[in-house]
Amino acid sequence: MIEITTLSELTIDGKLALHRAASSKDLFDYSSDELKAWFHGQRASADAIMVGANTVRVDDPWLTVRHVAGRNPLRVIPSSDGRLPLTSALLNDGLPTLIAVAGRATAATVAALEAMPAVEVIRCGDHSVDLPALMDRLEARGVRSLVVEGGSTLLSSLFGQDMVAKIVIKHIPIISGDPEAPTYLTPTPRPGFAPRLSRWRMTEWFVKGGIGVSVYVRENAP
Ligand SMILES: NC(=O)c1ccc[n+]([C@@H]2O[C@H](COP(=O)([O-])OP(=O)(O)OC[C@H]3O[C@@H](n4cnc5c(N)ncnc54)[C@H](OP(=O)(O)O)[C@@H]3O)[C@@H](O)[C@H]2O)c1
């Protein structure tokens, strides 16, 4: 079973970004160099890293290991219809990227993605990407650990299916104040995937450069 760790940066008012459709890179920039290195060390310790399709559209992330020496994990993006901007950084840098699409992705969209350097596409699910089935496919390729960096919709689906074993939260000392900024979990999760009450135990807590980090593990891990 793949161990899934979520890795998030959260404002004091529980937001994943300062505004709606604003990049969460703004939050990362608040960290000290030491904390950036720690955060990227978490990426380096995983076999694979995942963000939702919308985070690719909004943040245009690289999802590589920088700020510290380490190996880049396999990038995995669930995108039901596969409609990601072909100019996205992670589709163009030649590092391995796996796009998981659902049945509704057209052959033309899949072909366009597969034409990008080191990009592979797999089908997993009918309407939206079947995350447990995707985990089985990843496990069959030898992936044992996965870091998920969000956003809200993907996190909600994973918590809604009780798939997360460990939570890491970097507490950014800012209040966004924007009611439209994305929250940790979305107020409208995908039908049937609303997270339920779950209990977590804090196993680590530290402050680096004025920013706290807390780590939780699931009681009775899934
Ligand atoms: N602070 C942080 O740590 C952090 C980290 C990452 C992102 N963010 C922020 O989060 C925001 C984006 O969050 P978001 O909720 O809009 O989008 P998201 O969670 O990044 O992506 C959600 C999208 O993933 C695709 N998807 C495919 N299968 C899915 C499944 N089974 N469950 C859930 N999603 C699935 C869907 O797009 P399709 O229908 O197109 O397939 C869905 O709309 C941005 O503002 C970004 O800056 C913050």
Tens of pLDDT along the chain (222 residues)? 999 999 999 999 999 999 998 999 889 888 889 999 999 999 999 999 999 999 999 999 999 999 999 999 999 999 999 999 999 999 999 999 999 999 999 999 999 999 999 999 999 999 999 999 999 999 999 999 999 998 999 999 999 999 999 999 999 999 999 999 999 999 988 888 889 999 999 999 999 989 999 999 998 766
The CATH number linked to 93 is 3.40.430.10
Tokens found for residue 192:
């049937």
Cβ(131) – ligand 1 distance below 6 Å? yes
- Match 């919709």 to its residue by tokens: 153
56 CA to centre of ligand 1 in angstroms = 8
Cβ(125) – ligand 1 distance below 6 Å? no
Angle at 158 between CA 120 and CA 206, to 5 degrees: 105
Please give the residue range of the domain that contains residue 128: 3-218
Question: Does residue 192 have a cis peptide bond before it, meaning omega lies within 30 degrees of 0?
Answer: no
| 0.85 surpassed by pTM | yes
Contact 64, 72 (CB under 8 A): yes
16 CA to centre of ligand 1 in angstroms = 11
Cβ(27) – ligand 1 distance below 6 Å? yes
How many domains is the chain partitioned into structurally?
A: 1
113 CA to centre of ligand 1 in angstroms = 19
160 CA to centre of ligand 1 in angstroms = 14
Cβ(61) – ligand 1 distance below 6 Å? no
Tokens found for residue 64:
């590589």
In a mutational test of the pocket of ligand 1, which residue from 55, 77, 98, 162 has the highest number of ligand atoms less than 8 Å from its CB? Answer: 55
Cβ(80) – ligand 1 distance below 6 Å? yes
